[in-house]
Amino acid sequence: MSTAKEWSNPSAIDYYSQNRHEISDLYPSETVFLPRVLFPGAKVLDVGCASGGFFNIMRSYEPNIEYTGIDLSERAVELAISRYPEARFLVTEGFGLPFEDDSFDIVHCTSVFNNEPNYQEMLQEMYRVSNRFVLTDIRLLKGLGKQRESIYNIQFNGKAVEATVPYVVNDADEVAEFILQLKPKPKALRGTGYFHQVAKEAAEADTPNEDVCMTVLLLQKGDLYGGPTTLDLKDLPIEFSVSEK
């Protein structure tokens, strides 16, 4: 299901044009990997870029990057182009990316999988077009068994918005196992994060009001002849059952 209409709602557009565009707007967990993976000349793809705030954040860390942002909301992309004409923005879905294999050094995607049930297809595409890193966030619980999806009304700055989107939490081991079977096998999977209550508006809907693990994952793409995947998930407050293979 496309949520283009929901994310084009004027309150959503307005929120992302005023927030999430400075380093100080980031959650601490979002500042762990991003500055470490950026390097001069890096080709970056930002999936679900909204009005381009992460272009400004990334160039604050590393001014010399070649940035492409994609979003399914035409209105968000129009605003991104007018704010940052020096970057490249396209209206397109995270599924079936219009790029060759290995086109980008870093594929970045934040605050998308918490509203996108089909994370697997999108993550696989992001991995395909990356030649080095995929950096993304996802909400996890241990022992959930299968993905949990509920529906909630998005709110910005405390104001209810007439836009209903899925709220998605995934099983921690299932996500790790999915990543470990990607081809070519990842060189490394690293994570950081913390438990936090689900968004208030989701808790008011039919989502159980409990803490979920706000997880940031860094995948390092391997090559055809790679050895076992290095797992570095100790910084997450979840014990994973997967092992290096």
What are the residues binding ligand SAM (CB under 6 A)? 3, 7, 16, 20, 47-50, 53-54, 70-73, 76, 93-94, 110-112, 116
Could you tell me the two tokens for 203?
């808790």
Neighbours of 25 (CB within 10 A): 14
Q: Which residue has the tokens 């992302």?
A: 16
Q: Which helix (H) or strand (E) holds 103?
A: none
Per-residue CA distances from 99 to 73, 90, 108 (Å): 19, 12, 15
Kindly state the smallest distance separating residue 20's Cβ from ligand SAM, in Å: 4
Least spacing, CB of residue 5 vs ligand SAM, in Å:
10
Q: Nearer to ligand SAM by C-beta: 123 or 231? A: 123
What minimum distance in Å lies between the beta carbon of 175 and ligand SAM? 17
CA–CA distance from 70 to each of 12, 50, 85, 120, 140 (Å)?
16, 8, 14, 18, 25
Residue closest to 34 by CA, chosen among 50, 6, 53, 11: 53
Helices and strands counted in the chain (H then E): 8, 10
| Cis-peptide, bond into residue 184, ω within 30° of zero | yes
Nearer to ligand SAM, 84 or 240 (CB): 84
Tell me the residue number closest to ligand SAM, measured at CB.
48
Gap between the Cα atoms of 226 and 221, Å rounded = 10
- Cβ 241 to ligand SAM, closest distance in Å? 29
Q: Are 58 and 38 in contact (CB under 8 A)?
A: yes
Nearer to ligand SAM, 91 or 238 (CB): 91
Least distance to ligand SAM, CB of residue 163, Å = 11
**Least distance from ligand SAM to the Cβ atom of residue 23, Å:** 13
Work out how close the CB of 95 gets to ligand SAM at its nearest, in angstroms, rounded to a whole number: 6
Is 231 within 8 Å of 172 (Cβ atoms)? no
The Cα–Cα gap between 189 and 232 comes to 6
